[in-house]
C-alpha cells in the first residue's frame, strides 16, 4: 500500500464508472421486498445461471475438489458466475461474522503456519505461493494479512479463492482485514471498476454484499499468544483488550465513520449519510443533476478533511474528471453509531507504519494511522507479553523487512508491484519454535532481468548506503564541524553550512546539496537540526550492523550463485534436478567425515527438513538458494 492513498482525487466518486452504471447501483429499489433481497442475505437467489454457462461451478458445502477445480478454471482465464460469487460471499460473511476480532492460532496443531502479505489483485503471486508452499490443508495453516484487492487485475479471483479455502478449512485459513478492505478505498483503487467490468448488471449486488463481508473480517491474529499479526501496525494507544470488544461489523469504512455520530455511508448513501454540511438531506426526488454533483463534491471534501489528507494523484491510477451530471437517485439507510475512539483503534492497526526513531506521530504521508518507533514497539510487546509483530502494508524491495531490533517484521507478497522486476514477493513460515523463515520469489521469468533504469536505481541505493556509513564513521568530526557554524548553539544550521561541513570532513568532492533529499529527509523552517540528524544516522547504521551480525552461519559460507549451482549438482547425484533427503544425508555425512566434524544423523535430517519448505520430500534449487541466502561480505 503506497503512502498518501488516503488523499483522494476530487473526482474519485465518478472517475471509475460511467453515469448509467452509477445510476443503476445507487438507485433506490422499487419496493421494500426487492430491497430486502438485494441488500439482504439471499441476493444470489435473484441471479439465474444460464444453461449455456461453461465456467466453474460451486456447490455448498464446499470440498477440497471444488477448490482444485476453481484454481484450474482461473488458470484458464474462466470466470465464476455472479450467482456463485454472491452465494460464496454470503457464506463467507456468515462464517466471518462469528469470528472474534482477534483470532487465535496455535502451532501445536500444524506442521507450520504461513503468513502472506499484500497480494493486491496479483493472482500470479498467489498461484506461485501455492506452488512453492502447498495448498491450505489440515496440516498447513495460512494467515493472509489483508490488502487482497485493488491495483491488480484479479482482485475478485483472489477473494473467491481465499473465501473458498476459508470455508473448506475454517480452522486452518485465517484472513485479516487490510486498509484496502474498505469500500471508500475500493472506489479509487480498482476493485469497484473490476467488478463493474466483470459482472456488469450484477455488480451492484456484489458491491453491496462485499462491503459487509469486508466489515466482518477479523482485525488481527495471535499465534500462540506470542506473535501478533496485523496489517498496518500499532500506535502508542493501541489497546488489544478494547479492539477485542469493538463491533467491527458496524465499521464499513474507517474513513467515513470518523466520529461518534457519523452514519455509515455506502455508494448508495450520499443523500442520507448525514455527512453533508448543509443541513438535513432533501427528498431524493427533488435533487437536480447539479445538486447531486455538488453534494458529492462536498462529501469528498468532508472525507478528505477527516482523513487529514491533501490533494494527491496516485501514480498508478489515471486521473479522470466528473461527468457533467447524473440521473441518479439516492437511497437512504439506517444510521450506525460508532465511537470515535474505536474507529481510531482500527484506523491505527490498519494504516500505521514503523519508523527507526522513537516516538509516535501522525502518519501525514498516508493521511491516516501513525508512525510508531522502537520504544512504542517495546512497550506494546512488554504490556501484552508478546515476542514480535508481523505486519504488511508496505512494499519492500526484497519482499520483507526487519526493524525495531527484529521485533517488527514486514512481509509483502505482491512481486513486481510497481513494474516488472521492481521488487520480490515474500511470505513467512513459522513452526512451533516461532522462528520466522522468509521465502522470496518473483513471478515471471522476465522479472529476473532488470532494466537499465532499475539497475541504476539499485546502484544509487547502494551508493547512498555507503555515504551513510561514511557519515556514521565520521560523526564526531561532523559534530565539531557543525558546531563551528552554530555560534549561538541553536542546534540549527543552513543547508549551505551543512554541505560545507560535510565536504570539509569527508573531502569527497560531491555535490552535497543535490544529494541532500536522500541524506537529509526533514528540515525545520529550511534549516537542519544536526543533532537529531546525526542521531538518526547512528540509529539506522547500528540497526543495519546488528542485522548483519545476526546473519546465520549458512549465510556466511555461501557467497555466489555459481558456487551454489556447483554444490547443488554435487549433492544431486542422480541429476534429477531435485535433491532427495537421502542424497542430502549422504553428502553431509561425507562432508562431516572429511572435515572431521561431528554431526549427528538427527541434525542432518533436521537441516534437510528445514530446507524442504514445501515438505514434498525433495529440495529443488529455489528452496536450496533460499536456505543458503547470498551475502556479499562477512559480517564485521
Instruction: Specify whether 350 is located in the same domain as 378.
Output: yes
Q: Which residue among 417, 441, 465 closes a domain?
A: 441
Query: Is 496 domain-assigned?
Result: yes
CA–CA gap between residue 92 and residue 62 (Å, rounded): 12
Instruction: Specify whether 392 is located in the same domain as 352.
Output: yes
Identify whether 180 is a catalytic site residue: yes
Query: Is 537 domain-assigned?
Result: yes
Q: Which ranges in 80-236 belong to alpha helices (H)?
A: 82-97, 123-133, 155-168, 183-189, 191-199, 203-216
Query: In which domain, by residue range, is 395 found?
Result: 340-441
Query: Is 434 domain-assigned?
Result: yes
Query: Is 446 domain-assigned?
Result: no
Report the number of distinct structural domains present in the chain: 3
8 A C-beta contact, residue 383 and residue 168:
no
Query: Is 428 domain-assigned?
Result: yes
Instruction: Specify whether 414 is located in the same domain as 470.
Output: no
> Helix, strand, or coil here: 464?
helix
Query: Is 319 domain-assigned?
Result: no
Residue 33: predicted pLDDT: 46
Which residues in the chain land under pLDDT 70? 1-41, 257-337, 445-462, 541-565, 576, 594-597, 622, 625-636
Instruction: Specify whether 475 is located in the same domain as 456.
Output: yes
8 A C-beta contact, residue 101 and residue 129:
no
List the catalytic residue out of 81, 90, 120, 180. 180
Instruction: Specify whether 381 is located in the same domain as 467.
Output: no
Q: In Å, what is the CA distance from 151 to each residue of 192, 422, 455?
A: 11, 15, 25
Instruction: Specify whether 429 is located in the same domain as 470.
Output: no
Q: Which residue among 390, 411, 441 closes a domain?
A: 441
Instruction: Specify whether 435 is located in the same domain as 458.
Output: no
Residue 453: predicted pLDDT: 54
Instruction: Specify whether 372 is located in the same domain as 418.
Output: yes
Instruction: Specify whether 433 is located in the same domain as 461.
Output: no
Query: Is 364 domain-assigned?
Result: yes
Give me the DSSP letters along 374-401: HHHHHHHHHHHT-SEEEE--S--TTSEE
Residue 596: predicted pLDDT: 67
Name every residue whose Cβ is closer than 8 Å to that of residue 312 and which is 6 or more positions away in sequence: 4, 5, 7, 8, 9
CA–CA gap between residue 154 and residue 77 (Å, rounded): 10
CATH number at residue 509: 1.10.238.10
Instruction: Specify whether 535 is located in the same domain as 588.
Output: no
CA–CA gap between residue 183 and residue 215 (Å, rounded): 10
Instruction: Specify whether 513 is located in the same domain as 456.
Output: yes
Instruction: Specify whether 457 is located in the same domain as 427.
Output: no
Give me the DSSP letters along 273-288: SS--SSSSPPPGGG--
Residue 548: predicted pLDDT: 46
Q: What is the CA radius of gyration of the chain?
A: 27
CA–CA gap between residue 1 and residue 99 (Å, rounded): 26
Q: Which residue among 388, 421, 441 closes a domain?
A: 441
Query: Is 104 domain-assigned?
Result: no
Q: Strand (E) positions, 431-578?
A: 437-441, 492-493, 528-529
Cell (9 digits) for 578: 531435485
Give 35's Cβ-side CA count (13 Å radius): 11
Amino acid at each position: 500500500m503506497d503512502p498518501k492513498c488516503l488523499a483522494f482525487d476530487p473526482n474519485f466518486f465518478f472517475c471509475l464508472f460511467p453515469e448509467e452504471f452509477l445510476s443503476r447501483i445507487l438507485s433506490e429499489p422499487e419496493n421494500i421486498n426487492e430491497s430486502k433481497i438485494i441488500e439482504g442475505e439471499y441476493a444470489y437467489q435473484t441471479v439465474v445461471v444460464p444453461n449455456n454457462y461453461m465456467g466453474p461451478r460451486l456447490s455448498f458445502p464446499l470440498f477440497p475438489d471444488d477448490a482444485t477445480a476453481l484454481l484450474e478454471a482461473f488458470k484458464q482465464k474462466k470466470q465464476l458466475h455472479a450467482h456463485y460469487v454472491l452465494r460464496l460471499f454470503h457464506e463467507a460473511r456468515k462464517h466471518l461474522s462469528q469470528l472474534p476480532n482477534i483470532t487465535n492460532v496455535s502451532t501445536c496443531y500444524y506442521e507450520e503456519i504461513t503468513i502472506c502479505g499484500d497480494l493486491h489483485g496479483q493472482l500470479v503471486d498467489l498461484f506461485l505461493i501455492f506452488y512453492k508452499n502447498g495448498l491450505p490443508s489440515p496440516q498447513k495453516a495460512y494467515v493472509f494479512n489483508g490488502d487482497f484487492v485493488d491495483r491488480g487485475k484479479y482482485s475478485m479471483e483472489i477473494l473467491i479463492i481465499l473465501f473458498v479455502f476459508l470455508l473448506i478449512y475454517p480452522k486452518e485459513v485465517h484472513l485479516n482485514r487490510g486498509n484496502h478492505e474498505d469500500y471508500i478505498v475500493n472506489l479509487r483503487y480498482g476493485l469497484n471498476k473490476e467488478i463493474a467490468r466483470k459482472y456488469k448488471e450484477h455488480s451492484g449486488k456484489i458491491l453491496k454484499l462485499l462491503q459487509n463481508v469486508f466489515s466482518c473480517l477479523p482485525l488481527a491474529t495471535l499465534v500462540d499468544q506470542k506473535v501478533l499479526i496485523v496489517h498496518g501496525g500499532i500506535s502508542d494507544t493501541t489497546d488489544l483488550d478494547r479492539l477485542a470488544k469493538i463491533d467491527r461489523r458496524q465499521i464499513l469504512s474507517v474513513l467515513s465513520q470518523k466520529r461518534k455520530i457519523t452514519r455509515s455511508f455506502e455508494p448508495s448513501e450520499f443523500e442520507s449519510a448525514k455527512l453533508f454540511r448543509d443541513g438535513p438531506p432533501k427528498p431524493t426526488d427533488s435533487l437536480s443533476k447539479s445538486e447531486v454533483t455538488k453534494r458529492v463534491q462536498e462529501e469528498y471534501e468532508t472525507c478528505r478533511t477527516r482523513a487529514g489528507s491533501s490533494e494527491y494523484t496516485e501514480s498508478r491510477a489515471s486521473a479522470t474528471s466528473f461527468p457533467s451530471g447524473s440521473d441518479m437517485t439516492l437511497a437512504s439507510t439506517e444510521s450506525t453509531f460508532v465511537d470515535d475512539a474505536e474507529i481510531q483503534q482500527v484506523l491505527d492497526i490498519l494504516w500505521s507504519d514503523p519508523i527507526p526513531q522513537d516516538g509516535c506521530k501522525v502518519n501525514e504521508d498516508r493521511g491516516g494511522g501513525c508512525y510508531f518507533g522502537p520504544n512504542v514497539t517495546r512497550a506494546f510487546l512488554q504490556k501484552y507479553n508478546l515476542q514480535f509483530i508481523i505486519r504488511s502494508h508496505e512494499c519492500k524491495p526484497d519482499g520483507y523487512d526487519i526493524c525495531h531490533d527484529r521485533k517488527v517484521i514486514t512481509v509483502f507478497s505482491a512481486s513486481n508491484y510497481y513494474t516488472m522486476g521492481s521488487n520480490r514477493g515474500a511470505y513467512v513460515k513459522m513452526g512451533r519454535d516461532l522462528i520466522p523463515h522468509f521465502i522470496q520469489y518473483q513471478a515471471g521469468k522476465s522479472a529476473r532481468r532488470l532494466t537499465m533504469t532499475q539497475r541504476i536505481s539499485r546502484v544509487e541505493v547502494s551508493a547512498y548506503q555507503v555515504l551513510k556509513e561514511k557519515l556514521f564513521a565520521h560523526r564526531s568530526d561532523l559534530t565539531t564541524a557543525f558546531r563551528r557554524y552554530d555560534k549561538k548553539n541553536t542546534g540549527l544550521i543552513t543547508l549551505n553550512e551543512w554541505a560545507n561541513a560535510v565536504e570539509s570532513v569527508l573531502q569527497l568532492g560531491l555535490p552535497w546539496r543535490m544529494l541532500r533529499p536522500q541524506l537529509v529527509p526533514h528540515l525545520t523552517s529550511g534549516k537542519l537540526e544536526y543533532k537529531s540528524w546525526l542521531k538518526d544516522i547512528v540509529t539506522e547504521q547500528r540497526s543495519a550492523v546488528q542485522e548483519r551480525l545476526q546473519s546465520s552461519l549458512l549465510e556466511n559460507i555461501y557467497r555466489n550463485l555459481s558456487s551454489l549451482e556447483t554444490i547443488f549438482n554435487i549433492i544431486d547425484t542422480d541429476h534429477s534436478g531435485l535433491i532427495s533427503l537421502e542424497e542430502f544425508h549422504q553428502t553431509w555425512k561425507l562432508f562431516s567425515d572429511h572435515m572431521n566434524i561431528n554431526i549427528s544423523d538427527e541434525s542432518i535430517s533436521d537441516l534437510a527438513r528445514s530446507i524442504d519448505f514445501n515438505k514434498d520430500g525433495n529440495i529443488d534449487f529455489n528452496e536450496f538458494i533460499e536456505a543458503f541466502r547470498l551475502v556479499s561480505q562477512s559480517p564485521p
